[in-house]
Amino acid sequence: MCGIIGYVGEQNATPILIDGLARLEYRGYDSAGIAVLDSQGAIVVHKRAGKLRNLSNAISSSQPHGVQGIGHTRWATHGEPNDINAHPHVDCTGDLALIHNGIIENYQELRKELMAEGHVFTSQTDTEILAHAIERELAQGAENLETAVRNILPKLRGAYAMVVMSRKEPGKLIGARNNAPLIIGAGNGESYFASDMTALLKHTRSMLTLNDGEYAVITAADIRIHTIDGKQVQRTPIHVEWDAQSAEKDGYPHYLLKEIMEQPAAAQRALLSRIKPLDDRLVPQIDEIDALAQSGKLKNISRIIMLACGTSYYASLIGRAMLERWARIPVEPWVASEFRYADPVVGPDTLVIAITQSGETADTIASVRLAKESGAVVVGLTNMVGSALTREVDVTLYLNAGPEISVPATKTFVTSVMTLTVLALKLAELRDTLDAFAITSLLRQVETIPAKMEKLLEIVGVENNTIQQTAKWLAPCQSAMFIGRGSGYAVAREGALKLKEVSYIHAEGYQAGELKHGPITLLDEFTPLLAVATHSIVYEKVISNIQEVRARRAKVIAVATEGDELIHKHAESVFYVPEIDELLVPALAAIPFQLLAYYTAVERGCDIDQPRNLAKSVTVE
């Protein structure tokens, strides 16, 4: 949470910082601020509560000019989202400016200490103590900013990605990280810090990761990385394949719509090179899993634990069904924030599959560490190259979704499901629980998913009136109920999450069979039912559940299988998905709900790409 950016080079820093913040705004939008070291050698700070546009408007007539600066977009934790609590924060002298993402857990004791020594605090944030603590080191004789930063790091508890600059040491930025993301961009005669690579794609595709417990000193010409104890670290830059264009809206009114429409291509990329023809068969190809198997690490595995949060958790519910059905192995999906405090039963017999599109979700990372310490083997799924997850796991499977800018996840959901699909078939092959014929026949169907998505989007997509009409009557509702059975239940949970995230309509996802045990009381003519009623062994059961609510006058929107004409008898509105094996339906069935959430939010005038109170990367617990 919170987006941070730093620039040092020869260009005017302000437009670079503002543009970077625009790309990072999805990480938090309670306030925005910049600090620029101007040509007179003064640090000029501008900050405003609210969205970045408030800051941009405030500085439009008098932009600070200078060749280095830092910028921040905030998701408030300590201190309400106002101008004063906005970052950057400065020390008592105004010589230092600092931005931070994360939470300093021992900030109160540090603040007390610093106040007792005469430091004057202006904000309620935990961040401000960092500026004063560095100031104190310098006052007590630290030879330079780098030493001062290095001295304070061991005293901090909690999570941080921070960038600091000093008016007394121009041409230099120092960044440090622990449990919060920070990457370095290596440009031509210029260097950058940023919370993630999308902020820098316009300037460079050469990036270096910074690990927890490391800090970096960057100048226009040089990048140096050190561990907290001062040892220099050699790191080779990564070349990022994403191009700047892929992080633009491309004529769509919102990133969310663009990303929904990009799902067929994203699904295709997630499957690319993971399905291989072999003679007249198809085989799942995941080299990373083969390597794990060859190393003997999978030999004693008798169960799987899945760890994730939010949309990634719903992807894990879909993964569970495939893993259990095909690889015949017990699977427990856990919400990561619950797992880590549950004293979980986990050990060397456990394969952990952790899913986090950002690769940075604090609870997921902490749970992975816990599982590893207990001897589990961990496979991580993420969209972010070099993210924290990749450093914690035994192997990483990349989602290859491309940049996902909108806060509500769509592309990363379907690519997680695609990756889990091939993984489940790979484990079925290794465990010999499905024969080659069955695997081939499933993979042939998997291969058709991108094209089926394309067709589905053509039918229910942008120009489709039915979905927009349905959104019109959904928009005034205060509440909605989503139901499904089996994997359809996971789709219902994800559908409900999308609707509440984007349109702020209260929504619940329930197992269809559980409706009659309580939630049915909530249904009436103003509370619609959204049902996953695709062909499966439980189709008729779902239809019975729909009938139960129709008797209570609730309106029904159904996602059904193409060709199912009877469904019209049970629903006011129907969205069809193509016929496919029932365990493969979810990646398709989720799409009408995504579009419905989108158009409902449009009707309600919501802030679609940046829903209130949310952030795309959740680095706090």
Among 156, 370, 407, 596, binds ligand G6P (CB under 6 A): 407
Among 204, 311, 487, 545, binds ligand G6P (CB under 6 A): 311
Does position 27 bind ligand G6P by CB under 6 A?
no
For the bound state, the minimum distance from the C-beta of residue 201 to ligand G6P, rounded and expressed in Å, comes to 19
Among 64, 310, 402, 403, binds ligand G6P (CB under 6 A): 310
CA-CA distance, 175 to 109, in Å (whole number)? 23
Among 217, 534, 616, 620, binds ligand G6P (CB under 6 A): 616
CA-CA distance, 336 to 355, in Å (whole number)? 10
Which is nearest to 473 in space by CA: 394, 572, 578? 572
Which one of 51-59, 278-286, 474-482, 610-618 is the stretch in contact with ligand G6P (CB under 6 A)? 610-618
Which is nearest to 263 in space by CA: 86, 122, 415, 71? 415
CA-CA distance, 56 to 308, in Å (whole number)? 36
What are the C-alpha distances in Å from 517 to residues 174, 342, 497, 513, 521? 57, 27, 22, 8, 9
Does position 415 bind ligand G6P by CB under 6 A?
no
Tell me the one-letter amino acid at 326. Answer: W
Does position 309 bind ligand G6P by CB under 6 A?
yes
Asked if 141 contacts 75 with a C-beta cutoff of 8 angstroms, the reply is no
SS3 state at 359: coil
Asked if 172 contacts 149 with a C-beta cutoff of 8 angstroms, the reply is no
Asked if 408 contacts 598 with a C-beta cutoff of 8 angstroms, the reply is no
| φ, ψ (nearest 5 deg) of residue 337 | -70, -20
The pattern of x and - marking residues 354 through 393 that bind ligand G6P according to CB under 6 A reads: --xxx--x--x-----------------------------
Closer by beta carbon to ligand G6P, 204 or else 400: 400
Write out the E strands in 53-182: 68-74, 89-90, 96-104, 158-166, 173-178
Among 104, 424, 453, 614, binds ligand G6P (CB under 6 A): 614
For the bound state, the minimum distance from the C-beta of residue 618 to ligand G6P, rounded and expressed in Å, comes to 5
Q: Which of residues 448-487 bind ligand G6P (CB under 6 A)?
A: none
Does position 594 bind ligand G6P by CB under 6 A?
no
Q: Give 46's strand partners.
A: 34
Which one of 304-312, 324-332, 456-464, 484-492 is the stretch in contact with ligand G6P (CB under 6 A)? 304-312
Does position 185 bind ligand G6P by CB under 6 A?
no
Q: Which of residues 312-331 bind ligand G6P (CB under 6 A)?
A: 312
Output the six-digit token pair for 135. Answer: 């100031």
DSSP alpha helix (H) spans, 461-617: 465-474, 487-503, 539-550, 586-604
The pattern of x and - marking residues 45 through 84 that bind ligand G6P according to CB under 6 A reads: ----------------------------------------
Closer by beta carbon to ligand G6P, 311 or else 396: 311
Closer by beta carbon to ligand G6P, 185 or else 408: 408
Output the six-digit token pair for 249. Answer: 């809206």
Output the six-digit token pair for 133. Answer: 């603590």
Q: Does the annotation mark 616 as catalytic? A: yes
What are the C-alpha distances in Å from 115 to residues 77, 78, 88, 105, 111? 21, 18, 20, 17, 6
Q: Does the annotation mark 2 as catalytic? A: yes
The active-site residue, picked from 2, 426, 498, 555, is 2
CA-CA distance, 273 to 258, in Å (whole number)? 25
The active-site residue, picked from 172, 452, 500, 616, is 616
CA-CA distance, 159 to 106, in Å (whole number)? 11
Does position 399 bind ligand G6P by CB under 6 A?
no
Does position 409 bind ligand G6P by CB under 6 A?
yes
For the bound state, the minimum distance from the C-beta of residue 447 to ligand G6P, rounded and expressed in Å, comes to 26
Does position 401 bind ligand G6P by CB under 6 A?
no
Closer by beta carbon to ligand G6P, 186 or else 355: 355
Closer by beta carbon to ligand G6P, 101 or else 357: 357
Asked if 49 contacts 57 with a C-beta cutoff of 8 angstroms, the reply is no
What are the C-alpha distances in Å from 324 to residues 431, 433, 524, 530? 12, 10, 37, 27
Closer by beta carbon to ligand G6P, 123 or else 400: 400
Closer by beta carbon to ligand G6P, 309 or else 529: 309
For the bound state, the minimum distance from the C-beta of residue 412 to ligand G6P, rounded and expressed in Å, comes to 7
Residues with catalytic roles? 2, 616
- Applying CB under 6 A, the residues found at the interface with ligand G6P are 309-312, 356-358, 361, 364, 407-409, 614, 616, 618
